[in-house]
Amino acid sequence: METVRPFVVGWAGALVAAGLLAASAHALAGLAGNVAKVDLDTRKLVVTEAGTGRDVVVMVNDQTMIVTNAGKAITLGDLRKGDGVGISEVGGIATQIVVKPLEIKGVVNAVDPSEKRLVVTEAGTDQDVTLSVGDQTAIETQAGQRLELRNLKTGDGVAVTHTGAVAERIVVNIRPDELTGFIKSVGGDQKTLVVTDLKTNTDISVVITDRTTIVTTTGKDLRFQDLKRGDGVGI
């Protein structure tokens, strides 16, 4: 039986203030919003402007500086739809792009330490998101224990702060070999459970996917809707 267990971790990321990012004699224009589309072939960026909802096309050239909120240089190819950005531009050409960190919560789908790559299946959407993990990426458990990428395994719950496709911080809820306990709550989204572990008396969030098999001890198939608070489960 395959089950995934993400630990829901939240924190506030520092955001770039909307508005003018830089000033010069050329009267740089400021644009704040979210990436709607990235076109690497034409080096074009479409941004949905905050406050107005209008799409603004900005060109990127070799002189455009693209950095994270922490000042780390990234490339146009690292940007993803939905990324928050603050842009200084002149005549439709970006001079500087500052990318705000975002957060994804889900479970580890695949780990490739040699390529420094992590694939996370996002909770709620079941979409696979590929992230690059660098030497500066902080990886730790919820208790603050430092980990390396090679310590992660399929099924571990993660909360990842990332800028574009670059992971900046990964908080891990290590998947136990076996979870036995009682259902504490059933998610209204019909995709999540909270199970109280009998061994540790801790609450663990469990995501149910299309690959999850739910059966009784006698082998009878069940649906997610059949589960209820207080049911004993072995996962």
Encode pLDDT of 30-76 as tens digits: 899 999 999 999 999 999 999 899 999 999 999 999 998 878 888 99
pTM above 0.75, yes or no: no
Q: Is residue 12 a part of any domain in this protein?
A: no
Torsion of CA 6, 9, 10, 16, to 10 degrees: -80
Q: Is residue 20 a part of any domain in this protein?
A: no
Q: Summarize pLDDT for 205-219 with one digit per residue, the tens.
A: 777 777 788 888 888
| Amino acid identity for residue 21 in this structure | L
DSSP 190: S
Asked whether residue 161 falls in the same domain as residue 223, the answer is no
Euclidean distance between CA atoms 169 and 158, whole angstroms:
10
Residues 6+ apart with CB under 8 A from 85: 16, 31, 32, 33, 34, 35, 47, 79, 97, 98, 99, 100
Domain final position from 79, 99, 119: 99
What domain range is 137 assigned to? Answer: 102-173
Q: Summarize pLDDT for 130-182 with one digit per residue, the tens.
A: 999 988 899 999 888 999 999 998 888 899 998 888 898 999 987 766 788 89
Could you tell me which residues are beta bridge partners of residue 94?
89
Q: Is residue 4 a part of any domain in this protein?
A: no
Asked whether residue 110 falls in the same domain as residue 60, the answer is no
Asked whether residue 71 falls in the same domain as residue 123, the answer is no
